[in-house]
Chains A and B, each alone.
Chain A
């Protein structure tokens, strides 16, 4: 048996094990279909798609207007988790670099720490400003669709344009100054600081496609929502 098919089988068996009782039958149904897919890679893609359903049911296309309250709730929960997790990280970094200000040996590093603290506070502001609004208690799907669309737009903009580029670029000077100052103060640790800078730049570069992809995902959801709202063409 090809590795890709073996992987597909393992994946779907795991999905069957982990699926909620309500979804068990569906998970088994997807698993059974694997036997009828001739191509091994198609089988793997089938398994990946099926896994996605259980992991991210909130991301699947809206089927009709009555789905909107459910997907709006799902988005609210996801963004709430992002806000909480993001704020914990940025505030933790703020405290850490705030403390470094008093212990680092030179002015360049102190300046780097101050800039990093400012960048972290700016990121916290962004996370709080773009936190989700409460999902509307409105039961009319047409009304709910309007607020859901507005929320999707807010989240799309968080991952592109000014909101994204400003939070990415504001991080750079502080970290670079911090590492440069550290390398000057302790030349024997230059390789450590070079590794930190390399990791930091790699993460910053990775963040670009990741955020732009998320922005595209939100835009796709907006388009799907618009199609559903327009009705039959």
Chain B
């Protein structure tokens, strides 16, 4: 699998790498990464299409509409970590995923 990624995708991957076991919501990812919905969702769609991301609907609660949630699959987490490691190799002395601007 190719490990080359756009800066926006790197932002999304880094957001998921931060507490990878937690389910995340679209708007929260958008706020944390600064990506607009028009940029974020195509990335989420592609990651999900490639089975790197697991999606599910939150269980409905009274008076609260269910939300769509996202989490790395095992393969997705492995892929993101490998990618983070490859970036670290290229940018010695800098933490993985640093210096990514939208």
CB pair A231 B38 closer than 8 Å: no
Question: For the complex, what is the distance from the CA of A141 to the CA of B5, rounded to whole Å?
Answer: 13
The residue of chain B having its C-beta at the shortest distance from the C-beta of A52 within the complex is: B38
Report whether over half of chain B's contact residues are helix, strand or loop; otherwise say mixed. Answer: helix
Q: Report the minimum CB–CB distance from A27 to chain B (whole Å).
A: 9
CB-based contact B8/A61 at 8 Å: yes
Question: Which residues of A are in contact with B by a Cβ distance under 8 Å?
Answer: 25-26, 28-30, 32-33, 35-37, 45-50, 52-53, 57, 60-67, 141, 224, 227-233
Q: Which residues of B contact A (CB under 8 A)?
A: 2-9, 25-27, 30, 36-39, 41-46, 55, 65-68, 83, 86-87, 90-91
Q: A53 with B42: in contact, given A45-B36, A141-B2, A232-B4 (CB under 8 Å)?
A: yes
Tell me the minimal C-beta distance from B64 to chain A in angstroms.
8
New contact pairs (9) apart from A30-B41, A228-B4, CB-CB < 8 Å: A26-B41, A29-B26, A33-B26, A33-B67, A45-B36, A49-B36, A60-B42, A63-B42, A64-B4
A141 to B2, CA, bound (A): 10
Residue contacts A-B, CB under 8 angstroms, 13 given: A26-B41, A33-B67, A33-B68, A36-B67, A53-B37, A63-B6, A66-B2, A141-B2, A227-B6, A228-B6, A232-B83, A232-B86, A232-B91
User: Closest Cβ of chain A: how far from B98's Cβ, in Å?
Assistant: 11
- Chain B: minimal CB distance from A92 (Å): 35
